[in-house]
Amino acid sequence: MKLNTLFLGLCGASALAFAAHAETITIATVNNGDMVRMQKLTDDFTAKNPDIQLEWVTLEENVLRERVTTDIATKGGQYDVVTIGNYEVPIWAKQQWLLPLDKLGADYDVDDILPSIRGGISLDGKLYAAPFYGESAMIMYRKDLMEKAGLTMPEKPTWEFIADAARKMTDRAADINGICLRGKAGWGENMALLTAMSNSFGASWFDEKWQPQFDQPEWKNTLQFYVDLMKDAGPQGASSNGFNENLTLFGQGKCGMWIDATVAASKLSDPKESSVSDKIGFAIFPDTGNGNHGNWLWSWNLAVPASSQKGEAAQKFVSWATSKGYTELVASKEGWVSAPPGTRTSLYNSEDYKKAAAFAGPTLAAMDAADITKPSVKPVPYTGGQFVAIPEFQGLGTTVGQLFSAALAGQSSVDDALAGAQTAAVREMTRAGYIK
Amino acid sequence: MARAVSTNRKIGFTVAAWVVALLIFFPILYTIITSFKSETEAIAGFSLIPSGTLESYAEVQAQSNYFKFFLNSVIIAVGSTILALVVAVPAAWSMAFSPTKRTKDILMWMLSTKMMPAVAVLVPIYLIFRDTNLLDTRIGLTVMLMLINLPIVVWMLYTYFREIPGEILEAARMDGATLWGEIVYVLTPMAVPGIASTMLLNIILAWNEAFWTIRLTTTNAAPLTAFIASFSSPQGLFWAKLSAASTLAIAPILIMGWFSQRQLVRGLTFGAVK
Amino acid sequence: MATRQTTTLARFMMAPSVILLFIWMIVPLAMTLWFSFLNYNLLNPANVSFAGLFNYKFFYTDPAFFQSIWNTLVLVLGVLLITVIGGIALALLLDQPMFGQGIVRILVISPFFVMPPVAALVWKNMIMHPGYGVFADIAKFFGAQPVDWFAQYPLFSIIIIVAWQWLPFATLILLTALQSLDGEQKEAAEMDGAGFVSRFIYLTIPHISRAVTVVILIQTIFLLGVYAEILVTTNGGPGYASTNLPFLIYRTALLGYDVGGASAGGIIAVILANIVAFFLMRAVGKNLDK
């Protein structure tokens, strides 16, 4: 016991000694390419702020999410800046776990942030996180294969057209799958796609009284359509494919179409990462003639936990990493194509960016089309596009995702999967007190 | 004639054993090979000959400082092992040489403390660590891993000590050896192999513990398990990079294991040999 | 023989580990037990209230509950079966005279040194992946359709991965036991004209039964808690096909952030583990008392 106290004392003393030199802020980030790039460019920040030192915690998305959530909910105070999605921001802001960002500096230009993104990370008019990059979803397709199939992509394709084109583009002998879609279980994997897809099919997760809707025909149409389409035109082992796997498949030229996050476009347009960089066309997320294009909207944001002792320094960093200046820094070092997309209007007004990135227009169009305040054509009590913005969604979404991936893998029927999802959702929502 | 047959047999066994051993080792071997490939090579199909590029290693090191994680792993694994031995040796000793009716029950009870799923007690433990300021400290993690592995350590030592014949102690005592002399000159030499292999096993278990080492650390105390967590499933398939990170994470313990395998084997009996 | 003095000394020496482990057991257990009676969601800390037995009821009525217990048992038994039988076979093989025995032994025990998440990642991405894995490459070479392991045989795939990690441990212990088998006894049996099979049944098996017991006991303790490999590979799916009890608790705790429910699940898991341990001790424990 004594030894323990001694050690604690020593640790405390060394921490104090360190703090006297400079303020160290701890930043938790997800290990995707844009975040890793930010980590490499921080010399620019430390040069401007010599009194602030940065410590990085880089983790894969799921581990990061559970680490940060546990810490912030128990007020552990381990992080000064956290990377979180627009799913968490409103939920956490409501719990007062996040500092409102009011010290971002005079030249930050909050009004430049895309309105749809800004809406998702604000609560009662206050900004609780700053967007690092944003995305919607769209169709990415191979122009050459589309032509070969004798088709042209309409301006606003319907799912019917997509299914027809996918089947025509499929050429098993040449290892070309008409369509690649996410199938791996998880609320942020297959359920992101299926939730957005169900929106465009006119379905919703809950009705106005929070009754789960998996027993409704719209969901049956969505899932049946998805399973049939993937069976006819999807790749082998689709039920293990997430964003990463599909990115690789498409980059290797094995997919005719891929409907997924818009950030994929910049990776597919990079000849170093993709063998089809010059043959890609883009189109808006399909609908079923009802004008609902899925409403997929995601942003990775930087936020400052209320439990941080170094709020001011942390905000300085957040401001730097999400500023126009950072975009220009990336552009000057790695070219405009690599600029973090989907957060600022000014980027999409930049002639340099439009020239360098063919996907700039389609991306902006997709983001403008997404309305997370009204995800479904039916009236619903929740917000969120490819997710439902309630705390219970992570657990419930993953359970439902497991059941749906079983249907895709052929381990269960579509009806069984839907019935299972309905049971699970009713249970969870009753327990959480939504269903009285 | 007889000799020829036995040589043939030996060759037969050699071939069989090598085939099996290489099959078992293959996933590790392939990881090491892949770590020397470029990313495009890594997913290009089966190949045992890498281009020998070191770019994955360079990128891994550029993203995360390997040596910081490595150092933490060493400190935590070795520290928790020493701590566990300090606590466990006396306990196992007295259980082996002065057993009571309840000794066996106590042993089983100790093992049963390992049956609570870690994930179920995450929040309680996290709260305790927060309140004692142990979050992200090496000492906190060291104590934690010591507690996790203590039952196995006690058990292993107990079974080992039990095989030391009591008569030797009697004889030493007859010769007028003091308790101290008994411990230093008679028992220590006999117990060292058992303690050594217990130590090795415990270092391996502590090195590979991947739940608490990630959940209770941030930056200062994060060991190699956290290092790996920063390379799994990023955007895009970076298998060469992942292989390089994996190779770096397992290499130290693998090499230690190779060099000490004789020692490890000698004591890894859990009293299974009589 | 034990005088009062030595007994006191013995107690004194045992005290630190017993006390430490007691605290280590009782504090989290008490907190978990307490939380298990609360409505306590980490994401809604303002709304904590007493729940009675509701968390328990909610946990065991989970549609995945019974399947998860079944999967837990299948996983434990499957891995035990492979590692014990494979371990005996390997130990017998390694006990034979051969060239390069040291290196062979090193290769065989290596998987034990690989941390579980790395093992799972390597198997998932580089060995069993339906598109780029080595198994798929082999299948394609023979013109066969690659198997999508984690979708078609999820639990079996996980058993393979976990068994790969534990096979060295079993082999090591069994090999040590085999090597201690008296050479004279073996020769005597050979002289008597006992064939390999009868030698194996009447001499080897009784001799290593104790080692087998140890392997089963220690591995069971670790195998009851396997979840990292599932998280990395199948995420418990498809459906609930690879959801075991620890994974179900993980889902409750770190996806649902339902502390009350996860605590109840933890208590249920402890009770079940103790039942398993009880039967295990009844079945094989006698071997340990020799």
* DSSP letters for C64-118: THHHHHHHHHHHHHHHHHHHHHHHHHHHHHHTS--TTHHHHHHHHHGGGGS-HHH
Would you state the structure tokens that stand for residue C254, as one six-digit string? 């770190």
Query: Which among B225, B211, B224, B205 has a CA at the least distance from the CA of B120?
Result: B211
Positions of CATH 1.10.3720.10 in chain B: 65-229
In the predicted structure, residue C113 carries a pLDDT above the cut 70: yes
| 8 Å CB contact of C45 and A73 | yes
Give the model's pLDDT for residue A3: 46
For A104, half-sphere exposure in the C-beta direction (CA atoms, 13 angstrom radius) is: 25
Q: Taking all residues of chain C, what is their mean pLDDT, rounded to a whole number?
A: 85
Residues of C with CB under 8 A from a CB of A: 41-46, 58, 61-64, 129-131, 145-146, 148, 150-152, 231, 234-241, 243, 251-252, 254-258
Mean pLDDT of B41-60: 84
The first and second tokens of residue A324, run together, are 């126009």
Position with higher pLDDT, A36 vs B266: A36
Characterize C134-145 residue by residue with b for buried, 16 or more Cβ atoms within 10 angstroms of its Cβ, and e for exposed. bbbbeeeeeeee
Nearest to A409 among C42, C151, C256 (CB): C151
Q: How far apart are CA C259 and CA C36, in angstroms?
A: 8
Separation between Cα atoms, residue B61 and residue B3, nearest integer Å: 55
Do the Cβ atoms of B72 and B138 come closer than 8 Å? yes
Q: Is A5 on the interface with B (CB under 8 A)?
A: no
Indicate yes or no: CB of B235 within 8 angstroms of CB of A36: no
B4 touches chain C (CB under 8 A): no
Could you say which of C27, C42, C225 has the minimum Cβ distance to residue B117?
C225
Which domains are assigned to chain C?
Answer: 62-257 (1.10.3720.10)
* Residue range C269-285: mean pLDDT, rounded: 81
Q: What is the pLDDT of residue A186?
A: 87
Q: Do C270 and B113 touch (CB under 8 A)?
A: no
CB-CB under 8 Å, C274 with B28 = no
As a whole number of angstroms, the distance between CA C202 and CA C217 comes to: 23
Residue among A56, A76, A244 whose CB faces B233 most closely: A244
C-beta of residue A162 within 8 angstroms of C-beta of residue A332: no
Residue whose tokens read 């479904």? A376
What b/e string do you get for A202-236 counting C-beta neighbours within 10 Å, with b at 16 or more?
A: bbbbbeeebbbbbebebbbbbbebbbebbeebbbb
- Given pLDDT bands bounded at 50, 70 and 90, which one contains residue C184? low
Number of Cβ pairs closer than 8 Å across A and B? 91
CB atoms within 10 A of CB B149: 25
| B235–A32 CB contact, under 8 Å | yes
Q: Which domains are assigned to chain A?
A: 2-135+298-356 (3.40.190.10), 137-296+363-431 (3.40.190.10)
Distances (CA, A) of A171 to A134, A149, A174: 34, 10, 6
Q: Say what the pLDDT of residue B177 is.
A: 67
What 8-state DSSP symbol labels residue A55? E
What is the fold, at CATH topology level, of the domain defined by B65-229? MetI-like fold (1.10.3720)
B158 close contact with C: CB closer than 8 A: no
Within an 8 Å CB–CB cutoff, is residue B134 touching chain C?
no
| pLDDT of B4 above 60 | no
Q: What is the pLDDT of residue A1?
A: 38
Residue of C nearest to B170 (CA): C1
Q: Which pLDDT score, from 0 to 100, does residue B45 have?
A: 77
Distance CA B121, CA B52 (A): 45
Could you tell me if A39 lies within 8 Å of chain B, comparing CB atoms? yes
pLDDT digits (tens, 9 = 90+) for B61-86: 888 889 999 999 999 999 999 999 98
In the chain, the amino acid numbered A169 is M
From the list B28, B95, B98, the residue facing C114 with the nearest CB is B28
Q: Test C112 with B204 for CB contact under 8 angstroms.
A: yes
User: Rounded distance, CA B205 to CA A238, Å?
Assistant: 36
* ipTM entry: 0.87
Contacts of B230 in chain A (CB under 8 A): 31, 58-60
Quote the tokens at residue A198: 């169900």
Chain C CB contacts of A431 under 8 Å are: 58
Which two structure tokens, joined as six digits, stand for B196?
């050594």
CB < 8 Å to A185, chain C: 234-238
pLDDT in tens, chain A (436 residues): 344 444 444 444 444 444 445 789 999 998 888 888 898 899 999 999 999 999 999 888 888 988 999 999 888 889 999 999 999 999 999 989 999 999 888 889 899 999 989 988 998 889 999 999 999 999 999 999 999 999 999 989 999 999 999 999 999 888 899 999 999 888 988 999 999 999 999 999 999 999 999 999 999 999 999 999 999 999 988 888 888 889 888 988 999 999 999 989 888 888 887 889 899 999 999 999 888 999 999 999 999 999 888 989 999 999 999 999 999 999 999 888 888 999 999 999 999 999 988 899 999 999 988 888 889 999 999 988 899 999 889 889 989 999 999 999 988 999 999 999 999 999 989 988 888 7
Check CB contact of C133 with chain B, cutoff 8 Å.
no
Peptide bond preceding B124 in cis form (omega within 30 of 0): no
Q: Give the Cα separation of B249 and B69 in Å (integer).
A: 9
Q: Does C146 touch chain B (CB under 8 A)?
A: no
Contact list in A for residue C19 (CB cut-off 8 A) is: none
Neighbours of A272 (CB within 10 A): 8
What is the rounded CA–CA span in Å between residue B219 and residue B259? 31
Q: State the nearest Cα–Cα gap between B154 and chain A, in angstroms.
A: 20
Q: Strand A255-261 to strand A280-284: parallel, antiparallel, or no bridges (unpaired)? A: unpaired
Q: Is C131's CB within 8 Å of A237's CB?
A: yes
Q: Is the pLDDT of residue B52 over 90?
A: no
Q: Is C246 an 8 Å CB contact of chain B?
A: yes
C157 to chain B nearest CA, in Å?
A: 14
B233 with A267: Cβ contact below 8 A: no
Asked if B250 and C113 come within 8 Å (Cβ–Cβ), the reply is yes
Task: Give the 3-state secondary structure of A96-152.
Answer: CCECCCCCCCHHHCHHHECHHHHHHCEECCEECCEEEEEECEEEEEEHHHHHHCCCC
Q: How confident is the model over C237-263, as pLDDT tens digits?
A: 788 888 999 999 998 888 888 889 999
Distance CA A110, CA B190 (A): 73
A49 touching C (Cβ < 8 Å): no
* Cα dihedral across residues C258, C263, C268, C269: positive or negative: positive
C150 touches chain B (CB under 8 A): no
Q: Compute the distance between CA of residue B1 and CA of residue C145 in angstroms, rounded to an integer.
A: 50
Task: List subunits contacting chain B, requiring 3 or more Cβ pairs under 8 Å.
Answer: A, C
Interfacial C residues in 44-73 facing B (CB < 8 Å): none
Confidence at residue C284, expressed as pLDDT on a 0 to 100 scale: 67
Length reported for chain C: 290
Q: How far is B63 from chain C (nearest CA, A)?
A: 18
Q: Name every chain B residue with its beta carbon within 8 A of the beta carbon of C267.
A: 120
pTM exceeds 0.80? yes
CB proximity B16 to C under 8 Å: yes
Q: Taking CB atoms and an 8 Å cut-off, how many pairs form between chains B and C?
A: 281
